Homo-oligomer: A and B are copies of this chain.
């Protein structure tokens, strides 16, 4: 027994595999898995296990895992749910490293207790659990098909991680039908232990894997997933299909794999932050996988569209904007390159229109010119069927150019719209790995996915800026709240926390007597605000516990008396800790900044323009923490209301640097103490450029 965590490589490349619950009945899953392992030519040893013993497909069946003479890396569990725990105990005793639990009947049907017990036991004994509620796994390196899915899995470079088993099995079929080879497909089911992040640890450095596709319904340990995804997307494209995005979809997902879908906006923002490519349908995901697994990366952004029809060129141009593909627009250079190759009535503007008179030879010459041009980095070649179409010339033209472009290190995508003959050609070329689509929008979307990945890779690696914060000082502030069993900080405590993080707050002091109040007001400078400090009075302004715009000592004195009177009238027994005297801040632009621990993604940061913009327009942006300076800038730029910060209608630019600084500090503050669960500054008043900002009000909740 060991509490050492096994290397995830042994899950994908086990030296020996056991199937616990192996069956002689060909209709049973316990037979199917053994059969798939054997027929797929797995390179390691296979041990079927069943108390009845006997032989399956020529393999000796062992009565129990104890009877196996070898060390077992992976023991697939196919016994009924109620027998799983005992099986896991036996595996642990035998030193098994990974137990993929095929069986269902756990958290997805509400049986969370049993699932937790199994995982806890496994982890205590140095063993890891895949699933439960899965179809198994396929891994190309050891030729292992340990699943009850289809027997024939095409070998290739796409790895699939799926939270839905049924979908995974069907995707294997679809992959075969579309000639999309797989390097791995693995079902994570209820994700009771092993999750996507664990699997990525293997798949990211895995040489045979060029693209990773994940079907996700919910995320549990998102903080780690974010870290792993950020690194992964620098290495290879990661495509995610997220289900449970709608309110009803989330409910359906919860009843399916027992996972919380989480807020869609947060998920979307964080996936973008991680450089993940988001596919909106299964077909789109497959298109991207196939293309990204084969295409070279571009050397730059300048894309040219070559077409024989103006209409299809316009549709492609629109799609380029939708999918963020940049079109080359140096008209002089374009004319120089393409004028000799373009017929009368054609166009050398991008799209290059070869007109309806274009033959395969016209395309050949235009593509060759684009391939040789140093200023063109990628090409979209579109074709509308005309009477001049013939398979005999278009087939070699398209295939030849594809390979020539690949060799030249330039991405190219084709689209051909037409009848039966065109469709057959397209189908045939697709099977041979040529990126060609009947629908032009799909072709552009593929190039868009490649460019999204390319841009993320090309970004300089940004170091996250977690600022040094005096954690002992924080501890002292939290201590008081803990002592009083409060799950929130009082206003002055929250302010104190912000001061520790060097976030500017209004000057203030707590007065316990009238004299102290007037003295503090004199020190701070008029006008001042008075506010009661009491944990017993929550809505302070509603009960007359706040007084604004006090311009002199007399007004302060009057307000002091009135506040005490009002509060005592409202709640005679209220414990009043004092009256806070603070600087009345000048008006400015209102920003809201929040940091909290998301149930899916852990620490996240939010920013929005204050008031109405957040409440009505929902104009906010999110990031997973920690972030760097550029992330903070990007967060602000994502806001639709960002121009307000830059200054519109002749207003001066706001102190954006200061907002960025506060964003980084609020993020660092949340990370500085596990005990803080929620920080919200609302509003942060932001002044003109160079004049800073001030956090007027802050709410801090404790874990």
- Comparing A247-255, A293-301, A402-410, the segment that makes contact with chain B is A247-255
Residues in B whose Cβ lies below 8 Å from that of A177: 418-420, 422-423
Task: Tell me which of B150, B315, B648 contacts A419 (CB under 8 A).
Answer: B150
Q: How far is the CA of A315 from the CA of B313 in the complex (A)?
A: 32
A417 at the interface (CB under 8 A from B): yes
Contact B441 A281 (CB under 8 A): yes
Q: Knowing A315-B282, A318-B243, A438-B283 are in contact, say whether A171-B417 is a contact too (CB < 8 A).
A: yes
Contact A419 B243 (CB under 8 A): no
- Comparing A227-235, A369-377, A568-576, A613-621, the segment that makes contact with chain B is A613-621
A152-180 CB contact bits vs B (8 Å, 1 = yes)? 00000000001111110111111011000
Contact A420 B167 (CB under 8 A): no
Contact A283 B439 (CB under 8 A): yes
Q: How far is the CA of A356 from the CA of B164 in the complex (A)?
A: 11
Q: How far is the CA of A320 from the CA of B247 in the complex (A)?
A: 11
A143 at the interface (CB under 8 A from B): no
Q: How far is the CB of A629 from chain B (nearest CB, A)?
A: 25
A217 at the interface (CB under 8 A from B): yes
- A641 nearest in chain B by CB position: B616
A628-642 CB contact bits vs B (8 Å, 1 = yes)? 000000000000110
A317 at the interface (CB under 8 A from B): yes
Q: How far is the CB of A256 from chain B (nearest CB, A)?
A: 3
Restricting to A580-633, which residues have a CB under 8 Å from any CB of B?
612, 615-619
Residues in B whose Cβ lies below 8 Å from that of A105: 345
Number of identical protomers: 2
Total chain A interface residues with beta-carbon distance under 8 A: 89
Contact A173 B283 (CB under 8 A): no
Contact B164 A420 (CB under 8 A): no
Q: How far is the CB of A589 from chain B (nearest CB, A)?
A: 11
A273-312 CB contact bits vs B (8 Å, 1 = yes)? 0000000111100000000000000000000000011111
Q: Knowing A248-B321, A440-B281 are in contact, say whether A349-B255 is a contact too (CB < 8 A).
A: yes
A393 at the interface (CB under 8 A from B): no
- Comparing A42-50, A381-389, A464-472, A544-552, the segment that makes contact with chain B is A381-389
Q: Which of A148, A314, A347 has the most CB of B within 10 A?
A: A314
Q: How far is the CB of A359 from chain B (nearest CB, A)?
A: 13
Contact A321 B164 (CB under 8 A): no
Contact B317 A252 (CB under 8 A): yes
A210 at the interface (CB under 8 A from B): no
Contact A311 B387 (CB under 8 A): no
Contact B384 A167 (CB under 8 A): yes
Q: How far is the CA of A435 from the CA of B356 in the complex (A)?
A: 33
Contact A164 B310 (CB under 8 A): yes
A682 at the interface (CB under 8 A from B): no
Contact A314 B256 (CB under 8 A): yes
Residues in B whose Cβ lies below 8 Å from that of A310: 164, 166, 252-253, 255-257
Q: Which of A173, A252, A313, A349 has the most CB of B within 10 A?
A: A252
Residues in B whose Cβ lies below 8 Å from that of A312: 164, 166-167, 170
- A109 nearest in chain B by CB position: B345
Contact A318 B245 (CB under 8 A): yes
A453 at the interface (CB under 8 A from B): no
- A104 nearest in chain B by CB position: B345
Residues in B whose Cβ lies below 8 Å from that of A314: 164, 217, 243-244, 249, 252-253, 256
A649 at the interface (CB under 8 A from B): yes
A41 at the interface (CB under 8 A from B): no
A400 at the interface (CB under 8 A from B): no
Contact B243 A282 (CB under 8 A): no
Task: Tell me which of B322, B418, B612 contacts A173 (CB under 8 A).
Answer: B418
A510 at the interface (CB under 8 A from B): no
A351 at the interface (CB under 8 A from B): yes
Q: How far is the CA of A419 from the CA of B244 in the complex (A)?
A: 25
Cross-chain pairs A/B with CB under 8 angstroms, 29 sampled? A105-B345, A109-B345, A148-B387, A150-B419, A162-B311, A166-B308, A167-B311, A169-B386, A170-B385, A170-B422, A173-B420, A176-B420, A243-B318, A245-B321, A246-B322, A248-B320, A248-B329, A249-B315, A252-B351, A253-B310, A255-B349, A256-B313, A257-B310, A281-B315, A281-B441, A615-B649, A616-B640, A617-B640, A618-B640
Q: Which 10 A-B pairs have the closest CB atoms?
A: A164-B311, A173-B419, A166-B309, A256-B310, A246-B321, A167-B311, A281-B441, A170-B384, A249-B318, A243-B314
